[in-house]
Amino acid sequence: MFRSVARSAVGKHLLRRGYGTVSLPDRKVAVLGAAGGIGQPLALLMKLNPLVSQLALYDIANTPGVAADVSHINSRSEVTGYVGEDQLGQALEGCDLVIIPAGVPRKPGMTRDDLFNINAGIVKGLCSAIAKYCPHALVNMISNPVNSTVPIAAEVFKKAGTYDERKLFGVTTLDVVRAKTFYAGKSKANVADVNVPVVGGHAGITILPLFSQATPKANLPEDVIKALTKRTQDGGTEVVEAKAGKGSATLSMAYAGAVFADSCLKGLHGVPDVVECAFVQSTVTELPFFASKVRLGKNGVEEVLGLGSLSEYEKEGLESLKPELKASIEKGIKFANQS
C-alpha cells in the first residue's frame, strides 16, 4: 500500500452549489484499473470531487506513481495507491462506490465483443473481491463489453449472495455525452443546454439515441437524425480509428465516468431528482438488462424510468438491437456460471 496525503483547508464542511448546504459525509471511492488510459484522468477527476473523502487507486502495476501524483492536488480527499492482487482487499474495504475501468481496450478492426476473452475474467475476479470486501458498494462498470460485463458482475454477486440490482450500473454516459455534442453541432443549440436520452446497450446498434426526445427541440430532418444516430453508435470506433492502434476513448470516457460517478454520489447524499442513463437490471423491455434513464438515490437505483414515446425510426432501432443485446447478456451469464 502506498499512501500519500495532502489535505487542504477545504475540509469536510463544504458549501458548494449542487452539493447541498450541509456538511459532507465520508465517502470512499475506488478506481480499479487506475493506472490505465481511463484510470489516470478519472483518478484526477475523482480527486476534484468534493463528495469524495477517500480515493483508493488500484491497478496490477504502476499505481504508486499515479497515487503520489494525484495526491498532491489540494482537494478534500485522501489518496491511497494499491498495487497487485494482494492489496485489492485493502483498496476495496469500506468503499461506497467502485469504478471499474480495468481491462484491455480495442484496436482498429475489433468489436467490443472481441475483448470478452480477456476482460470477462478480469471483471469476474474484481467483482468476486467486491462481493467479499465491500458488498454494499455501488459498482460503475466501464470495462467492455459492457453488454456482457454487467451480467457477469450480477452473476458473481448472486453466487456470493450479495447481489442488489439497485447497485450495479453499466456506464453508458459516454454515449449520452457524444449524442449531446453531435446534436448540439447540428441543431446549433448551446451544448450545455442539450439533453438526449440514449437507451439499449453499449455496442454498435445496441446504442440507441432517442433524438425525438432531445431538447431543445430542433425539428431536424430525418436524414440528419439518421446520420446523428449512426455517428453516436460509431463514436467509439471513430476514436479507435483516430488513435490508430493506441487504444480507445480515454479522456472523454474519464469525463463521462466522472459525471456518472458524481451523480451516484449525489444520489447517495440525498440530492433529489438525479437522473442518468445507465445499463441496469430492467423490466423496461423483455431483456433482463437494458440502458434507460434511472433515478438515483440513497440506495443506488431508485426508479428505472420507461422509454417514453419513440419515433417510428427509433421503434425499428429498438427491435433491431434486441437480438444482439440478448446474445451479449446471455454470453456474460453463461461465462460467469461455467468457470
Ligand X SMILES: NC(=O)c1ccc[n+]([C@@H]2O[C@H](COP(=O)([O-])OP(=O)(O)OC[C@H]3O[C@@H](n4cnc5c(N)ncnc54)[C@H](O)[C@@H]3O)[C@@H](O)[C@H]2O)c1
Nearest to ligand LMR of 63, 144 (CB atom): 144
d(CA 198, CA 202): 10
Place of cell 492482487: 85
Partner whose footprint covers residue 209, from ligand X, ligand LMR, none (CB < 5 to 8 Å by kind) = none
Contact 175, 296 (CB under 8 A): no
Whole-angstrom Cα distance, residue 24 to residue 265?
A: 11
The contact pattern for ligand X, residues 205-244, with x = CB under 6 A and - = no contact, is ----------------------------------------
CA contacts within 13 A on the Cβ side of 319: 6
Q: Which of residues 163-182 bind ligand LMR (CB under 6 A)?
A: 174
Q: Indicate which single residue of 29, 66, 253, 258 sits in contact with ligand X (rule: CB under 6 A).
A: 253
Of residues 87-146, those binding ligand LMR (CB under 6 A): 105-106, 112, 144
239 binds ligand LMR (CB under 6 A): yes
C-alpha cell at position 243:
488513435
The residue among 260, 204, 256, 235 whose CA lies nearest residue 38 is 256
Question: In 161-273, where does DSSP find H-type helix?
Answer: 173-187, 222-233, 235-243, 251-268
Judge contact between 78 and 7, C-beta under 8 A.
yes
Query: Which listed option, ligand X, ligand LMR, none, makes contact with residue 250 (CB within 5 to 8 Å by class)?
Result: ligand X
Report whether 39 contacts 46 (CB < 8 A).
no
269 is catalytic: no
Beta bridge partners of 100: 141
The listed partner (ligand X, ligand LMR, none) that binds 284, CB under 5 to 8 Å by sort, is none
CA 72/CA 79 separation, integer angstroms: 9
Stretch that binds ligand X, among 19-27, 34-42, 258-266, 331-339 (CB under 6 A): 34-42
Query: Residue 37 CB, nearest distance to ligand X (Å)?
Result: 3
Interacting residues of 213 by C-beta distance below 8 A, sequence separation 6+: 196, 197, 308, 309
Smallest gap from Cβ 115 to ligand X, in A, equals: 5
- Nearest distance from residue 149's CB to ligand X, in Å? 8
Catalytic positions are: 202
Residues interacting with ligand X, by CB under 6 A? 32-33, 35-39, 59-61, 101-106, 115, 119, 122, 125-126, 142-144, 146, 171, 174, 202, 247-250, 253
Report the interface residues with ligand LMR, using CB under 6 A: 105-106, 112, 144, 174, 235-236, 239-240, 248-249
